[in-house]
Amino acid sequence: MGSIWELDFYSRPIVDDKQKKVWEVLICETPTEVGINTDELFRYAQYCPSTTVNSGWLKTAMQEAIAQAGEAPMRIRFFRRQMNNMITKACEDIGIPVQASRRTLLLNQWLQQRMEQVYPQEPGYAGGINPSVRLQAPLPQKLPDALEGQKWQFASLSAAEFKDMPEWEIDFGEGFPLEIVGVSEATPIPGVLIFSPRALPLAGWMSGLELAWLRFDNSQGARLVLETGASESWILANLKNPQVLAAAEDFESAKQKANGVHFVAVQSDAEAESFAGFWLLCEVNLP
């Protein structure tokens, strides 16, 4: 199985000698398993003049990154919807599948580190420049009837228990090293277990959505919302029972205490010893 890369191509808070914004491509390898040493994962960075911002330049930069890595990734993730057309075309031109996704935790951390430590040291640094424009997200969608879980419940595992995740029997899923988000082994990690007699097709469908995170939303009636892709979201459950509402609030509180880390799992029933799906997730603030 090949690697997955995370990619960002956008302007930075730096201007050249003509006061034009400097752009940059950042590429890093996704840590898809618990226990991976992220310091050993591939990274690539290159500035781009504003006069050459196009899919052709990005394609060349990606080819240089592939040459440095020694092999191409099996797919590429990107979170910035504004750059969808350019990134998609560059990836298609070199034959690499590309997917809009907010599952770009390591890239997000790297970008934040560069905002704080690297760009301010560059000539032409202009800290007042806003390097991003947020786009309005669409309203949450209703899950297809055939894919709704029969039952679900909140659950919790200690961070230490995830050390064994590589040994768990999981059909669809993905994890990441908890160390990169600064979670101690004693920290409770909240989650949601979904039970369905159609657990495997449900997990397969969820896997294709690029799960980002799960959140408790009480802005338009209490509900659990599953965020996926670059901007999509799904109503996992509407909450009316007072006890369930209290549990949802506890879930959200525990998630914040765990630096946004939580999980979603799919099983055939509560007695199952394997998972049709298991995703370790982390809610982050993307630029």
Together in a domain, 115 and 213:
no
Taking only the tens place, the pLDDT of each residue in 216-263 is 998 878 999 999 999 999 998 899 999 999 999 999 999 999 999 999
The pLDDT, as a whole number, for residue 11 is 94
For the domain that residue 107 is a member of, what is the CATH number? Answer: 3.30.420.10
* Residue 246 resides in a domain: yes
- Beta strand 275-282 with 170-174 is parallel
Query: Do residues 110 and 153 both lie within one domain?
Result: no
Q: Are 162 and 218 members of one domain?
A: yes
Domain-embedded: residue 232: yes
Of 90, 121, 152, which residue sits at a domain end? 121
Q: How many domains does the chain have?
A: 2
In a domain, 52, yes or no: yes
Buried b (16+ CB within 10 A) or exposed e, 168-191: bebebbbbbbbeebebeeebebbb
Same-domain check for residues 154 and 247: yes
Residues 96, 147, single domain; the answer is: no
- pLDDT above 70 for 105: yes
148 lies in the same domain as 275: yes
Give the mean model confidence (pLDDT) for residues 107-135: 84
Q: Using the predicted structure, report yes or no on whether residue 287 has a pLDDT greater than 80.
A: no
Give yes or no: residues 37 and 99 share one domain.
Answer: yes
Question: Both 166 and 64 in a single domain?
Answer: no
| Model confidence band, residue 149 (pLDDT cutoffs 50, 70, 90) | low
Query: Is the Cβ–Cβ distance between 202 and 196 less than 8 Å?
Result: yes
DSSP per position, 40-78? GS-EEEEEE-GGG-SHHHHHHHHHHHHHHHSS--SEEEE
The number of C-alpha atoms within 13 Å of 11 and in the hemisphere containing its C-beta is 20
In this structure, the answer to whether residues 153 and 101 fall within a common structural domain is: no
Rounded to the nearest 10 degrees, what angle do helices 55-69 and 84-93 cross at? 50
116 and 148 both lie in a single domain: no
Q: Identify the domain containing residue 152 by its residue range.
A: 141-282
The answer to whether residue 131 scores a pLDDT higher than 90 is: no
Q: Is the pLDDT of residue 145 over 90?
A: no
pTM for this model (two decimals): 0.92
**Predicted confidence (pLDDT) at residue 132 exceeds the cutoff of 60:** no
Cα 208 to Cα 91: distance, rounded to the nearest angstrom: 19
Mean pLDDT along residues 80-92: 96
Strands 43-48 and 21-29: antiparallel
- Of 121, 154, 170, the last residue of a domain is 121
In a domain, 76, yes or no: yes
Same domain for 111 and 239: no
Q: Residue 214 and residue 96: Cα distance in Å, rounded?
A: 28
Residue 48 in contact with residue 57, Cβ under 8 Å? yes
Q: What is the mean pLDDT of residues 75-82?
A: 95
Mean pLDDT rounded to a whole number for the chain: 92
Q: How far is CA 283 from CA 212, 227, 256, in A?
A: 7, 9, 9
